[in-house]
Each structure stands twice: as structure tokens, then as C-alpha cells.
Amino acid sequence: MRKKLVAVFAGLLAAQAFADEPPIALKQAPGLDKVESNCAACHSLDYIQMNSPFLNAAAWDAEVTKMIKAFGAPIPDADAKSIADYLKANYGG
């Protein structure tokens, strides 16, 4: 329950902080819905585009794992796999 409350609160803060930013247009591909619904709850999707030149497949796997294990992102395992697969296929360096 605590994780859900933290996620909701973070999402509200993020929405307020990014209210004036233009929407980020990520590549249309399978898994995009999981990226938008999970990742954007805590931070701007700009990070995906900014980091893509530097991250390969293994690094994207590590980033997704870090968000869940170190930062406590409440992402189900199936969604985490979809997110990692999307990032590797579309933004792997």
C-alpha cells in the first residue's frame, strides 16, 4: 500500500513539475504503453531519449532493475520485461 501511495504522490508532483513541458514523442512500438504508464509516473520521458546514445541492451536492463530495486518503482515483473524490451529495441545504443 505504501508503494502505491508513494507512486501516486510522485506522479502528482511530476505532473505538476512537467505541466509546461511539451509532450515527449517516443517511438511507437510494442511496450510503449508500459513505458508511458510506469516510467512517466516518476520522471520525464526525456531521460530515455537523453540516455539512449549511451546505453546498450545490458545497460537498459540494469536501468530498469535499478528503478525497481533501488528506487522502489512499483513495476510488475511482466511490465518490467516489456519496458526493458521496448528500450533495448528502440533506444539501445
CATH of the domain at 6: 1.10.760.10
How many domains does the chain fold into?
Answer: 1
Range of the domain at 27: 2-91
Q: Residue 75 burial by CB count (10 A; 0-12/13-18/19+): exposed, middle or buried? A: buried
DSSP for residue 35: H
Per-residue pLDDT tens listing for the chain (93 residues): 666 656 666 665 655 555 566 777 899 999 999 999 999 999 999 999 988 889 999 999 999 999 999 999 999 999 999 999 999 999 986
Q: Give CA–CA dist 51/65, Å, rounded.
A: 16
pTM above 0.85, yes or no: no
Report the SS3 class of residue 51.
Answer: helix
Q: Residue 25 burial by CB count (10 A; 0-12/13-18/19+): exposed, middle or buried? A: exposed
